[in-house]
């Protein structure tokens, strides 16, 4: 398309700002634009403007001078040090600080982004894309580094494993938050080798619902979760971000109710009463109930229809009609969960958190609940409702006969068998697990890559058509690129293309991995081949995500993080829940899926509960043991942290104590005093001293006298019978 040169260079541009204006209010747009450029300039940024698409212009931004940037970097590093992210204060000479620890690209981009977006009182330009007075600022994005991207994808496509250096590379380019996602997925991928191998063997030799596989799998899930926590710390130290989650950034949307003066700091603090927030948070309970019942009703309905068609219905088109519930689910579910996610976001905004961290945690929790229902409820229904109670429930399923009424030839084809005469299909659970762990994963992976591609193609086709139509209407009507200087043309075309790309959201990718981990933890005992499927899938997933970031999305703004955030709790929760479901499944489906006595009916309540309880407590014990063992592990990151702390400590000690000279010790005092006789001494003492205390302490002067008197006392102990020697004292 464009000559390679223009693809390679980013023209030293740090950020591109898309400024979209309404054609109706030209003068306001111009005024705001002036304010924007002036604001950027006031924080030391150079600007260049070019035309964007029809109603937008592109504002290119770069740092005016290195000195200015270095100042900002130093300021940021000092802030880190004060919040405990760095062990030592950066050297006071800015140049020196930067030489001893050079700036990496993600740090540079983050600092510039903050310079643009931070509030004016914090030293930024206060530009808030898409919000409030800056509604016209559509987006702020950095340009892709195409040369690096190409190398990256090429390298990954040809290697099986990612090294820590690969992750360092991502961190240097895309920031720690995204690097943490890749590090997590890579760890998970590596860890999957063991259950994949073991699962394959189990699948071959142990069969389904093997308690041995269940135990090994539970151990693996625990070890992985706990190990990742350890690894997170290690990477956090390696990347110098350990503790950044403690640096709280205020949310701009936070609405305070009152302003109080902090009794501690004397600063003006915006407050929102936490009781009021708690009241709002309580809305989560009805929300969760409504979401669960809506999604649950949908899932249960589809499930009921499916069971009805596949196991009761006996008329024509059965093989086709069986896909009817899947069709319903595939169309209605995304709409419903979209609505619910939207509502969850609204609810979280309503809860009015003060910091980004709190907001993200609250939102993630809600989204996890929604995903939990949509992902796992179908399998839960099959395992814990259909199998134990199927014979009771299925006969009532002929309410769903209306879905097939148009096709049935007679009533008999749609009549459920009488209670007791129906036998459940023990294979249903396995089929469902296979669907979710293989088919759904592949579909998902495809969607991630294909949908944005199609969207992009469709959009550009639509725009082309539109401009062709416009050109027809207006005669020569040139494209926006017509005014580009020829040597920049290719570059500007690329920038315009990138401006139209979507924004990458690392959370959704992380969520996907966590949900996948959930299948493994909760249900893989049903089909031990699951980890093999995940292993293959995740190899592609990692690469697909890299391609997505490079091609389908705008270059993400590099943010820092020292953890994968609230998803970590979800992992722990899923590992714990897995200990419950696995034991329940193993008990209920023992005898290769037939139930403990060879029949699902013979499931005993107390035995089920006992196995679940035992398993849960063993799990908790195991987790404690694993935590303890892992906490003993050393790692390069922890060593580095210890080294840093040690050096700082040493320095402080030296600085603080160097002035404090040890006083002369008493060892040589009293030398002359011993020459005086003891009697004289005692007399003299009693004369000089006026208080009992000083008299008490003046009886022996200097340590040598104490020794002499002590010697006398010790010797006297043996010669007690000869009273003459007592006078010696």
Binders of a copy of itself in range 27-66 (CB under 8 A): 29-30, 33-34, 37-38, 40-51, 54-55, 57, 59-60, 62, 64-65
What 8-state DSSP symbol labels residue 313?
-
Please choose, out of 177-185, 339-347, 371-379, 470-478, the segment that lies near a copy of itself by the rule CB under 8 A.
470-478
Tell me the C-alpha distance between 649 and 645, whole Å: 6
Closer residue to a copy of itself, CB minimum distance, 398 or 705: 705
Which range binds a copy of itself by CB under 8 A, 160-168, 412-420, 567-575, 696-704? 696-704
String of contacts with a copy of itself for each residue 607-626, x by CB under 8 A: -xxx-xx-------------
Instruction: Identify which range of 5-13, 101-109, 426-434, 545-553 contacts a copy of itself by CB under 8 A.
Output: 5-13
| Interface of this chain with a copy of itself, residues 575 to 604, rule: CB under 8 A | 604
How many angstroms separate the CA atoms of 384 and 396, rounded? 18
DSSP 3-state percent helix, strand, coil across the chain (nearest 5): 70, 5, 25
Binding region for a copy of itself (CB under 8 A) out of 219-227, 427-435, 452-460, 606-614? 606-614
* 45-51/258-261 β-pairing: unpaired
Q: Give a three-class secondary structure readout of 234-276.
A: HHHHHCCCCCHHHCCCECCCCCCCEEEECCCCCCEEEECCHHH
Helix H or strand E segment including 687: helix 678-688
**Which contiguous run of DSSP H or E holds residue 373?**
helix 356-381
Among 258, 268, 632, 675, binds a copy of itself (CB under 8 A): 632
For a copy of itself, the binding residues in 82-141 under the rule CB under 8 A are 82, 89, 92, 94, 123
Nearest to 249 by CA among 124, 359, 350: 359
Give the list of residues 6+ apart from residue 569 with CB closer than 8 angstroms, or none: none
Q: Which of 433, 424, 427 is closest to 601 using CA atoms?
A: 424
Judged by CB under 8 A, the residue of 233, 377, 393, 709 near a copy of itself is 709
Phi, psi for 721 (deg, rounded to 5):
-70, -20
Read off the DSSP letter of residue 351. T
CB of 670 to a copy of itself, least distance (A): 8
Residues 149, 58: Cα–Cα separation, whole Å: 23
Interface pick for a copy of itself out of 15, 74, 141, 529 (rule CB under 8 A): 74
Query: What residues form DSSP beta bridges with 713?
Result: none
Report CA dihedral (550, 556, 562, 564) to the nearest 10 degrees: -70
Nearer to a copy of itself, 206 or 689 (CB): 689
Looking only at residues 240 through 269 of this chain, which bind a copy of itself when binding is defined by CB under 8 A?
A: 263-265
- Per-residue binder mask for a copy of itself (CB under 8 A), 262-301, x = binder: -xxx--------x---------------------------
Complex with a copy of itself: residue 1 or 663, whichever CB lies closer: 663
Count CB atoms within 10 A of the CB of residue 694: 12
Stretch that binds a copy of itself, among 73-81, 155-163, 390-398, 519-527 (CB under 8 A): 73-81
Q: What Å distances lie between residue 244 and 98, 346, 558, CA to CA?
A: 20, 27, 14
672 contacts a copy of itself (rule: CB under 8 A): no
Beta-strand relationship, 137-141 and 15-20: antiparallel
The whole-angstrom separation of Cα 156 and Cα 391 is 52
- Give the footprint of a copy of itself on residues 644-663 (CB under 8 A): 646, 649, 652-653, 656-657, 659-660, 662-663
Sorted by sequence, the CB contacts under 8 Å of residue 374 that are 6+ apart come out as 295, 299, 333, 337
Work out how close the CB of 485 gets to a copy of itself at its nearest, in angstroms, rounded to a whole number. Answer: 8
DSSP 91: P
Contacts of 711 (CB under 8 A, 6+ apart): none
Q: Cα(519)–Cα(378) distance, rounded to whole angstroms?
A: 12
Decide if 424 contacts 600 (C-beta within 8 A): yes
How do beta strands 56-63 and 45-51 pair?
Answer: antiparallel
H or E stretch including 52? Answer: none
> Smallest distance from the beta carbon of 137 to a copy of itself, in angstroms?
13
Helix axes 274-282, 284-307, angle to 10 degrees: 20
Sequence-distant (6+) residues with CB within 8 A of 278 are: none
In terms of Cα–Cα distance, which of 636, 640, 638, 630 is closest to 227? 630
Nearest to 365 by CA among 445, 276, 297, 291: 291
Q: Supply the minimum distance, in Å, between the C-beta of residue 220 and a copy of itself.
A: 22
Judged by CB under 8 A, does residue 228 bind a copy of itself? no
21 binds a copy of itself (CB under 8 A): yes
Structure tokens that stand for 258 in this block: 């009152």
Is residue 477 within the footprint of a copy of itself (CB under 8 A)?
Answer: yes
> Minimal distance in Å, beta carbon 716 to a copy of itself?
8
Residue 678, Ramachandran bin (φ over 0: left; ψ between -120 and 50: alpha; else beta): alpha
- Of 4, 26, 320, 402, the one binding a copy of itself (CB under 8 A) is 26
Name which of 56 and 533 has its Cβ closer to a copy of itself. 56
CB closer to a copy of itself out of 177 and 242:
242
Query: What are the distances in angstroms from CA 64 to CA 67, 254, 333?
Result: 9, 33, 50
Q: Which stretch binds a copy of itself (CB under 8 A): 396-404, 423-431, 523-531, 699-707?
A: 699-707
Residue 308 Cβ vs a copy of itself, minimum distance, rounded to whole Å: 32
CB of 384 to a copy of itself, least distance (A): 15
Residue 713: CB partners within 8 Å, gap ≥ 6?
729
User: 6 vs 128, which CB is nearer to a copy of itself?
Assistant: 6
Region near a copy of itself per CB under 8 A, out of 213-221, 232-240, 439-447, 639-647 = 639-647
| Least distance from a copy of itself to the Cβ atom of residue 727, Å | 10
Q: Using the rule CB under 8 A, which residue among 346, 639, 671, 688 binds a copy of itself?
A: 639
Using CB under 8 A, which residues numbered 483 to 542 contact a copy of itself? Answer: 483, 485, 487-488, 491
Nearer to a copy of itself, 45 or 510 (CB): 45
| Binding window for a copy of itself (CB under 8 A); candidates: 294-302, 341-349, 382-390, 474-482 | 474-482
Shorter beta-carbon distance to a copy of itself: residue 410 or 665: 665
Q: Could you tell me the smallest distance in angstroms from the CB atom of residue 13 to a copy of itself?
A: 8
60 close to 48: Cβ distance less than 8 angstroms: yes
Q: How far apart are CA 409 and CA 425, in angstroms?
A: 25
Task: Give least dist CB 343 to a copy of itself, A.
Answer: 24
Residue whose CB is less far from a copy of itself, 121 or 659: 659
Contact 490, 3 (CB under 8 A): yes
- Of 418 and 727, nearer to a copy of itself (C-beta) is 727
> Can residue 666 be called a binding residue for a copy of itself (CB under 8 A)?
yes
Write each residue from 338 to 357 as x if it is in contact with a copy of itself (CB under 8 A), else as -, in one continuous string: --------------------
Instruction: Identify whether the C-beta of residue 88 lies closer than 8 Å to the C-beta of residue 647.
Output: yes
> Which is closer to a copy of itself, CB of 212 or CB of 626?
626
Q: How far is the CB of 109 from a copy of itself (least distance, A)?
A: 17
Stretch that binds a copy of itself, among 72-80, 369-377, 423-431, 542-550 (CB under 8 A): 72-80
CB of 219 to a copy of itself, least distance (A): 18
């Amino acid at each position: 398309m464009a000559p390679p040169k223009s693809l390679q260079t980013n023209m030293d541009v740090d950020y591109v700002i898309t400024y979209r204006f309404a054609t109706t209010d030209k003068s306001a747009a111009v005024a705001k634009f002036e304010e924007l450029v002036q604001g950027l300039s006031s924080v030391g940024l150079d600007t260049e403007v070019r035309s964007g698409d029809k109603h937008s212009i592109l504002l290119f931004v770069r740092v005016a001078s290195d000195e200015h940037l270095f100042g900002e970097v130093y300021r940021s590093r000092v802030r880190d040090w004060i919040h405990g992210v760095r062990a030592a204060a950066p050297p006071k000479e800015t140049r020196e600080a930067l030489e001893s620890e050079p700036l990496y690209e993600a740090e540079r981009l983050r600092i510039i982004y903050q310079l643009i977006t931070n509030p004016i009182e914090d030293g930024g330009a206060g530009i808030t894309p898409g919000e409030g007075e800056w509604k016209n600022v559509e987006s702020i994005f950095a340009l892709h580094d195409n040369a690096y991207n190409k190398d990256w994808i090429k390298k990954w496509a040809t290697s099986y494993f990612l090294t820590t250096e690969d992750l360092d590379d991502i961190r240097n380019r895309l920031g720690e938050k995204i690097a943490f996602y890749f590090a997590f997925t890579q760890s998970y991928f590596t860890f999957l080798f063991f259950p994949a191998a073991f699962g394959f063997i189990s699948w071959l030799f142990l069969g389904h619902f093997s308690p041995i596989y269940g135990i090994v799998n539970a151990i693996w899930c625990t070890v992985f979760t706990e190990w990742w926590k350890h690894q997170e710390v290690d990477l956090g130290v390696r990347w110098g971000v350990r503790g950044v989650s403690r640096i709280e950034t205020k949310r701009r949307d936070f609405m305070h109710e009152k302003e109080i003066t902090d009794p501690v700091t004397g600063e003006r603090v915006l407050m929102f009463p936490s009781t009021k927030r708690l009241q709002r948070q309580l809305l989560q309970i009805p929300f969760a109930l409504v979401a669960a019942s809506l999604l649950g009703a949908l899932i249960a309905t589809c499930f009921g229809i499916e069971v009805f068609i596949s196991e009761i219905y006996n008329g024509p088109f059965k093989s086709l009609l069986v896909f009817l519930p899947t069709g319903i689910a595939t169309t209605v579910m995304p709409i419903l969960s979209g609505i619910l996610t939207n509502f969850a976001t609204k609810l979280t905004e309503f809860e009015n958190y003060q910091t980004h961290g709190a907001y993200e945690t609250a939102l993630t929790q809600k989204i996890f609940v929604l995903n939990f229902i949509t992902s796992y409820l179908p399998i839960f229904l099959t395992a814990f409702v259909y199998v134990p109670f199927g014979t009771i429930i299925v006969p009532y399923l002929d309410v769903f006969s209306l879905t097939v009424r148009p096709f049935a030839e007679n009533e008999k084809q749609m009549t459920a068998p009488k209670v007791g005469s129906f036998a459940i299909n023990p294979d249903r659970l396995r089929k469902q697990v296979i669907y979710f762990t293989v088919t759904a994963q592949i579909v998902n992976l495809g969607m991630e890559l294909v949908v944005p591609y199609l969207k992009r193609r469709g959009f550009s086709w639509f725009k082309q058509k539109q401009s062709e139509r416009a050109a027809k209407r207006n005669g020569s009507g040139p494209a926006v690129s017509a005014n580009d200087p020829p040597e920049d043309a290719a570059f500007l075309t690329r920038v315009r293309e990138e401006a139209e790309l979507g924004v990458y959201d690392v959370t959704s990718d992380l969520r996907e991995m966590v949900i996948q981990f959930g299948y493994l933890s909760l249900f893989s005992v049903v089909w031990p081949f699951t980890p093999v499927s995940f292993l293959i899938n995740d190899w592609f997933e990692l690469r697909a995500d890299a391609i997505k970031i490079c091609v389908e999305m705008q270059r993400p703004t590099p943010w820092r993080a020292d953890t994968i955030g609230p998803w970590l709790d979800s992992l722990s929760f899923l590992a714990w829940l897995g200990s419950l479901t696995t034991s329940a499944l193993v008990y209920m489906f023992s005898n290769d899926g037939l139930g403990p006595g060879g029949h699902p009916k013979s499931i005993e309540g107390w035995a089920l509960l006992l196995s679940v309880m035992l398993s849960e407590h063993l799990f908790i014990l195991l987790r404690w043991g694993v935590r303890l063992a892992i906490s003993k592990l050393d790692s390069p990151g922890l060593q580095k942290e210890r080294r840093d702390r040690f050096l700082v400590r040493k320095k402080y000690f030296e600085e603080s104590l160097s002035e404090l000279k040890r006083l002369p010790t008493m060892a040589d005092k009293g030398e002359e005093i011993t020459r005086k006789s003891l009697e004289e001494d005692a007399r003299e003492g009693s004369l000089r001293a006026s208080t009992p205390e000083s008299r008490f302490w003046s009886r022996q002067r200097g340590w040598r006298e104490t020794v002499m008197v002590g010697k006398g006392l010790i010797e006297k102990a043996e010669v007690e019978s000869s009273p003459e020697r007592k006078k010696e004292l």
